[in-house]
Chains A and B, each alone.
Chain A
């Protein structure tokens, strides 16, 4: 970053054709990312040693008949060479068919569809808690006295460094086991959403708040802030109207992290709180080598990334038009 942005210039002169080109390019890259993710996951799971047919039929502790084993191999093309299995899989993908779950014996789209609402609810609630918390804490603590900064920074580090499982468990012990304020997990009603969402929010809040505050610290040292103060603006106004706009860009860049933390965290949070969701589905599928579902979940995550990155990209251009012309 060179020079000093003049606050008044932001928000103008975004050329529509440049934006359209940018979106088109992003979409093409996005499709490539999805294809790559599907291929890599397919290969990774394929390469796990072990006989998938026997695993589907109960693992080491079962007595499947030879006819049942043959049938499973046929149904899931397990006797075919890798290339055929892969092409068949890609062909299905193009038609929106993610295949059939080995374990649940229903289409993968249906299996994920059943769970996605619950995870969206959890991740959405966590984001709704985490973002305001991040902005409030960072705005309030940037460029304050050292002891305030140390205290806040300490809290952030604890939130960022403590495993989600531990955060969740401590919350459970305090608010569910001891105080009985919230149910111990489950999907029943809004009360059951509070602790899981808070757990996930705290895990995300730590790193986000650290980045935002560091940026704010830098921005608040810049000359235009001094100018603004010199014009007699109140401190809160300076922070929110001028400094935040500049400091928020690195936070936006971290949305990838945010999504990863929310999706990854949901695996742990859903298991700990006995919640329905894509995370617990993914975990069960990995245990059972339920290849179609694993790939489905990976594709879903990749698709979310692509969409979020596209959205972030557009937001950049709104916040700072120089991004397009650069």
Chain B
């Protein structure tokens, strides 16, 4: 899953400005918690009522999960949508709007047995036809889906067997199908709304979830009310029936330091995004709970472009990776809250293989040796390495901001030590997008969160190189051996075969060095201890408020 543009923009900018402001704020304010926040015993009985005020860093501008790719949808989607399936506490596929399902031997036919007596907030029922309508809505070009449509791409068509039995036909065996159906972006919309007014779903989405949209002020706030009669939460949430809260009021608070201050002042009970620079203060305060959870999928990686010089040479890729002290860079960037990683898959992901770790260790001497051997053994007047009179330069475009990305600035300093010039090119978002799809760069920093290990296919299979179709293999990895492994992994049912294939893929990637892994992609949120019953799911580690409640 993509990091949305505004959020990334902000992350980079605020690491400098926000940090300064936070320091200033810290000097001038006592940061004392307001009276009234206190620890509630863990076994306390939930209390009904009250509205939880939540601050959020940005909102998608459209609330129909099928039509967006914004990170915030992970949290927002859980409020109004239910999904066909869910991932339980162990990360296994579990029933939700489908009670059970059968998968054919060849992995191409899925028969879903749907839950009965589920209704959407407009009163319309959930059934096999609605499921089909949702899949069609996701891939309807008019929905302008940046994400959901690609996740269900192998879906060919479906048959409504009876009211509560739906058969989905896939083009090929695609085990990630169920996983993606559990993601927030693929929540189920009301079939009635899809038929009658699909164009209003962005501003007025209709789901069957624990809350109902009451009011939406784009860019400002989203108000939700408890869904009366809700009774079909997934089992892992440990509750039944309606939400405890009367409602949830979500307000966009763009500035990190304001999000932090308004959390500690009690104006908001929960913030969906607490900036790293404020983590220590909140962690130290017993009146608050701070969560720092890695998102599954691809961690933060500086992806190399294997398609052109200098990263077409494996020696340069290895040297670059060995030149960077990832732990030091990560420590300073995340104020100690980021977890450094040296693999291409998040440690939280299914089939993560620790035996593929450790081969990307910081070793400047080795970096120098590799570059010398690769012919980059002369130095120019500024001390950069050259070969045949040409300087060893790496162009890294990034979105323009008031200050260059602190990550890239740090990497620049690290590789300078072994004589590599890293040139940071700041561009407007639109131009960056175009350049990204044209492959006109040497390296790009990015993440991709998804709840299936198929992320490795999305990032590194040659069919995902942008051509006719937009793909996320921005490293232009085109390795027949890896392709074969990833295709096999994608078709393998969950179990030892999949585990083995994904292990091979991780090892192959460590050999190929398609980028420099940096740190886990974290979900960092915090809430007052007067807010109880906050759950997180294993698809997206964001707060789930279905059975949250406010201690009186």
Contact = CB atoms under 8 A, between A and B. Distances in A.
Given A59-B5, A274-B253, A276-B220, A52 B69 contact: no
A272 B255 contact: yes
Contacts of B25: 173, 177
Contact of A71 (B144, B218, B437): B144
Nearest to B448: A61
A178 interface: yes
Contacts, number: 197
A5 to B, nearest CB: 50
A85 to B, nearest CB: 16
Contact of B146 (A58, A114, A276): A58
A110 B29 CA distance: 41
A322 to B, nearest CB: 48
Interface in B429-473: 429-434, 436-437, 444, 446, 448, 458, 468-472
B253 A185 contact: yes
B2 interface: yes
Interface residues of B, number: 69
A145 interface: no
A183 B267 contact: yes
Interface in B103-149: 139, 141-147, 149
Contacts of B286: none
Interface in B3-49: 3-6, 9, 21, 24-25, 28-31, 34
Interface stretch (A91-99, A148-156, A232-240, A282-290): A282-290
Interface in B502-552: none
Contacts of A271: 254-255
Interface residues of A, number: 56
B261 A177 contact: yes
B146 A63 contact: yes
Nearest to A52: B430
B171 interface: no
Interface string A259-272: 00000000000011
B219 interface: yes
B472 A63 contact: yes
A134 interface: no
A235 to B, nearest CB: 42
Contact of B428 (A48, A54, A70): A48
A105 interface: yes
Interface string A153-188: 000000000000000010011101110100111110
Interface in B415-434: 428-434
B409 interface: no
Nearest to A60: B436
Given A65-B469, A177-B25, A60 B432 contact: yes
A111 interface: yes
A176 B433 CA distance: 40
Contacts of A326: none
B281 interface: no
B471 A63 contact: yes
A111 B216 CA distance: 12
A44 to B, nearest CB: 12
B547 to A, nearest CB: 26
A64 B5 contact: no
Contacts of A273: 258
A184 B262 CA distance: 6
B445 to A, nearest CB: 11
Contacts of A176: 261, 265
Interface in A39-92: 48-52, 54-72
Nearest to B468: A66
A219 interface: no
A72 B69 CA distance: 16
A281 interface: yes
A91 B472 CA distance: 39
B218 A48 contact: no
A280 interface: yes
B218 A178 contact: no
A16 B256 CA distance: 57
Interface of A: 48-52, 54-72, 103-106, 111, 114-115, 169, 172-174, 176-178, 180, 183-187, 271-276, 280-281, 284, 287-289
Given A61-B4, A184-B258, 20 more contacts: A48-B431, A54-B470, A59-B433, A63-B147, A63-B149, A65-B141, A67-B141, A103-B61, A114-B218, A169-B21, A172-B258, A173-B28, A176-B261, A177-B29, A178-B29, A187-B221, A274-B254, A276-B219, A276-B220, A281-B219
> Which 9 pairs from chain A and chain B are nearest by CB?
A50-B430, A61-B2, A58-B146, A62-B146, A71-B141, A63-B150, A276-B220, A184-B262, A67-B141
